[in-house]
Chain A
């Protein structure tokens, strides 16, 4: 079960630059390790993270195995209007995980 935590301010002034902190539980298996029998452990990482603000993409990260387990990413965006900030993590295997945070812009 993949769980995501996001920290988006609930309120902001129009034009304010806000920080968005995200954390998702994921092993980020590199594909370079071997199990105790010497068999390679297949790669399973979150390869893409996208942030959309009312549907428009404002930030995207292409991730590689060098990103630590349980990827933690913080970035900034301009609070333009009230609405939803939608964050999506896409893993190699399984369904993308989406978390939405609402923001009120005054």
Chain B
């Protein structure tokens, strides 16, 4: 609907246009609540800043075919000696189709001994998940995993 149109009598066509717009509104609002590859890219920029993200050093394990998106086992491993001079500072995990682009951020240090974390995540749709590790030298390394989700996590429906 344009707002700077001159005032017109309320015709049936105009009424239908307004009614149609109102009916669509909730759908549009719900759509906008979803992360997209663009919002994921923005979330990655926010976490990484201007630094270059290279592929490698990090392994992201997720099942390629997910039957139930409500609890998907995920393991992230980073190759690192985990010493005071060379260790993983943090691991960020991002998604592209959940309502929010960030899944979790893990903060580690040399006392971790081994950069390996497992958890269970929710996936609202078939999508790509990206994990990025920040090293103590300031470099960033990434890995991604594509998966097909047959039963999505009930994020928006009634319980």
Contacts and interface: CB of A to CB of B under 8 A. Distances in A.
- Pair from one complex: yes
Interface of A: 17-18, 30, 32-36, 53, 56, 58-69, 71-78, 80
A88 B95 CA distance: 26
A87 to B, nearest CB: 14
B70 A68 contact: yes
A61 to B, nearest CB: 5
Contact of B112 (A34, A59, A72): A59
B112 A58 contact: yes
Interface stretch (B2-10, B96-104, B132-140): B96-104
Given A32-B33, A68-B71, A62 B104 contact: yes
B118 interface: yes
A17 B111 CA distance: 9
A99 to B, nearest CB: 17
Given A76-B112, A76-B114, A66 B107 contact: no
Interface of A is mostly: strand
A74 B117 contact: yes
B113 interface: yes
Contact of B113 (A32, A34, A60, A78): A78
Nearest to B33: A32
B62 interface: no
Please indicate which of the listed interface residues B71, B113, B121 has the most CB atoms of chain A within 10 Å of its own CB.
Answer: B113
25 contacts: A30-B155, A32-B99, A36-B158, A58-B112, A61-B107, A62-B104, A62-B105, A63-B104, A64-B100, A64-B102, A65-B98, A65-B100, A65-B155, A66-B95, A66-B100, A67-B104, A68-B70, A68-B120, A69-B70, A74-B118, A75-B108, A75-B116, A77-B111, A78-B111, A80-B111
B101 to A, nearest CB: 9
A3 to B, nearest CB: 17
